[in-house]
Amino acid sequence: MNKKTLRDIDVAGKKVLVRVDFNVPMKDGKINDDTRMVKALPTIKYLQEQKAKTILVTHLGRPKGKVVPEMSVKPIVEHLSELLGEEVLYARDCGGEDSRQVAEEMKEGQVLLLENARFYAEEEKNDPKMAEALARLADLYVNDAFGTAHRAHASTEGVAHHLPAVAGFLMEKEIEALSSAVGNPQKPFAAILGGAKVSDKISVMQNLLGKVDYLLVGGGMANTFLKAAGYETGKSLIEPEKLEVAQEILAEAKTSGAEVILPVDVVAADKFAEDASSQVVDVNNIPAQAMALDLGPATLKVFAEVINKAKTIVWNGPLGVYEFPKFAAGTNETARIVAEAEAKTIIGGGDVVAAVEKAGVAEKIYHISTGGGASLEFLEGKSLPGIVALQDR
Ligand code: ADP
Ligand code: MG
């Protein structure tokens, strides 16, 4: 990696400001899923071992620049104390007077979490004053929040200009996994793309077309491609204004050497609902009143063949309406095939990651990205401001 990491600097006894992504799903004041916290533990524990004073900063939810008590980080402070087996300190603001006081009194090895950065409008505006205030708390800055690296905010980008700034261990892992896939993939290289809309994934497709050997298309977006390829798609979700670009992508694939693989059969439902009645039909037989909500078994067979010969796989977006059990088979089955396959698989995207975790095969996947939007932008070939701002090797 061309960016410095925690291992490249001396943190012993120093005050270290660490941007983490503890934007965990909450329900009734309780943490629903602590995956993001657990994944940041290696960085925090390393800093504790090095006797650093660790000052953590995160955002939580979308308070839009105002103090919203339900979005306080207090439950996270409590849970992190449990995870670390020792008390985590808390500051009532994010870079203000209380942060300064608590940070001042920290002992070596202690951990402090500042209040929600997005309680302050300056955070998302990347206001230099907030960046400077955060920087004044510490000697060094570590960014371990890959999930917000695509946003140039005060705590993700601005602050990095005021302190020696390096990547944390989770950030390092994310960058290495994603760049090994898009930079120097072992071939054959297959991309699986799904999700609701073509419009969300066009840039990813265009960036991957020149790199992959196979592009497997599923989910809602497959319908626009089927229509563009001349099939009747009934009442399926399609984006008429994207038919042209879908046609262009199909044409481009012919010259770029990537094989685009569309569904050959689908699960067609009479309505968009959990209890819809459905049938498996060939793509040239989709009834006029039906909507395609999942991949059919013949398509899964084709997908499995490609997945089983691939050495590298990137997967973004679920392949059907996985929220309804009746239409989750395409996503779940693909998750199982990918988990059993030999390829190095990298999965990114909020929904597909949730689906793969629900399918219970997450442990067998080479890399599951903690960043939905960030992983997508990485795959689009964009540079992420939170990473760019870190020191080069
Ligand atoms: P990710 O978060 O993994 O990037 P997206 O947000 O792009 O994925 O898309 C997820 C959504 O796509 C899910 O809510 C799912 O129900 C929807 N979806 C998948 N297949 C279809 C389909 N055939 N028709 C309509 N919606 C679909
Ligand atoms: Mg999503």
**How far away, in angstroms, is 320 Cα from ligand 1 center?**
6
Ligand lying nearest the CA atom of residue 321: 1
Q: What is the mean pLDDT of residues 297-320?
A: 97
pLDDT of residue 182: 84
pLDDT at 319 over 90: yes
Atom of ligand 1 nearest to the CA of 323: 16
pLDDT at 180 over 90: no
Atom of ligand 1 nearest to the CA of 324: 16
pLDDT band at 22 (very low <50, low <70, confident <90, very high): very high
pLDDT of residue 346: 94
Q: What is the mean pLDDT of residues 15-25?
A: 96
Average pLDDT, the chain: 95
Sequence ranges of the domains in the chain: 6-171, 179-368
Q: What is the mean pLDDT of residues 17-46?
A: 94
Ligand lying nearest the CA atom of residue 194: 1
pLDDT at 216 over 90: yes
Ligand lying nearest the CA atom of residue 200: 1
Q: What is the mean pLDDT of residues 110-135?
A: 98
Residue 74's alpha-carbon distances to 29, 59, 84, 288, 339, in angstroms, are: 9, 12, 15, 53, 37
pLDDT at 87 over 90: yes
pLDDT of residue 33: 86
Structural domain 6-171, CATH architecture: 3-Layer(aba) Sandwich (3.40)
pLDDT band at 72 (very low <50, low <70, confident <90, very high): very high
Percent of the chain with pLDDT over 70: 100
Q: Which residues line ligand 1 (CB under 6 A)?
A: 194-196, 200, 219-220, 237, 292-293, 316-318, 320-321, 323, 349-352, 372
pLDDT of residue 332: 96
Q: Atom 5 of ligand 1 has which residue's CA nearest to it?
A: 195
pLDDT of residue 172: 97
Q: What is the mean pLDDT of residues 327-352?
A: 94
Q: What is the mean pLDDT of residues 97-111?
A: 98
**How far away, in angstroms, is 348 Cα from ligand 2 center?**
10
pLDDT digits (tens, 9 = 90+) for 156-179: 999 999 999 999 999 999 999 999
Active site residues: 36, 197, 350, 373
**How far away, in angstroms, is 350 Cα from ligand 2 center?**
5
pLDDT at 27 over 90: no
The residue that leads in pLDDT, 130 or 348, is: 130
Q: What is the mean pLDDT of residues 355-359?
A: 89
* Domain 6-171 and domain 179-368 have a common topology: yes
Q: What is the mean pLDDT of residues 272-293?
A: 97
pLDDT at 183 over 90: no
Pick 179-368's CATH classification: 3.50.50.60, 3.40.50.1260, 3.40.630.190, 1.20.120.530.
3.40.50.1260
pLDDT of residue 371: 87
pLDDT of residue 244: 96
Q: What is the mean pLDDT of residues 259-285?
A: 97
223, 299, 321: which to mutate for ligand 1, most atoms within 8 A of CB?
321
The structure's pTM equals 0.87
pLDDT of residue 350: 82
